[in-house]
């Protein structure tokens, strides 16, 4: 099992689940406007614990293109593992969007 810490809340989730889905399915408000394809960066989170050392090419390229490399991570490109403490930075309630976006698939994309 993995543990997600978000603010004062803590959730037990399975290992190896896309982080954006683990957050949303735990009731955390987070956007995923491109449906998990490393295209929009709205699933961005800031880690305070448990940030993976590895980064998929799609995440690196998108973060570089938005000048966000080293600032945030894309939760659609990360799998749950161990203890992770994160802060979602773009949420339905903090933006003009009516919904979070199409649900990312369980399997990693792109």
Least separation, in Å, of the C-beta of 59 and ligand FES? 8
Q: Which is nearer to ligand FES, 22 or 43 (CB)?
A: 43
**Shortest CB 68 distance to ligand FES, Å:** 11
CB 97 within 8 A of CB 33: yes
Comparison of 2 and 34: residue with beta carbon closer to ligand FES: 34
Residues making contact with ligand FES (CB under 6 A): 32-34, 36, 38-43, 74, 76
Q: Which is nearer to ligand FES, 36 or 88 (CB)?
A: 36
- Residue 40 CB, shortest distance to ligand FES, in Å, is 4
Q: Give the C-alpha separation, 109 to 8, whole Å.
A: 30
**From the CB of 83, what's the least distance to ligand FES, in Å?**
22
Please answer whether residues 19 and 78 qualify as being in contact, where contact means their C-beta atoms are separated by less than 8 angstroms.
yes
- CA gap 108, 54 in Å, rounded: 15
Which residues are paired to 11 by β-bridges?
A: 4
CB-closest chain residue to ligand FES: 76
Nearer to ligand FES, 41 or 80 (CB): 41
CA 64 to the chain's CA centroid: 17
* SS3 call for 101: coil
* Residue 102 token pair: 């199409």
């Amino acid at each position: 099992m993995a543990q997600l810490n978000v603010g004062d809340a803590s959730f037990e989730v399975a290992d190896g689940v896309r982080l954006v889905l683990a957050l949303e399915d735990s009731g955390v408000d987070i956007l995923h406007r491109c449906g998990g394809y490393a295209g929009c960066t709205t699933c961005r989170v800031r880690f305070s614990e448990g940030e993976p050392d590895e980064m998929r090419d799609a995440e690196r390229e998108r973060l570089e293109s938005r000048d966000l490399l080293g600032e945030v991570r894309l939760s659609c490109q990360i799998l749950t593992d161990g203890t992770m403490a994160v802060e979602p930075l773009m949420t339905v309630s903090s933006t003009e969007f009516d919904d979070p976006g199409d649900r990312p698939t369980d399997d990693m994309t792109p």
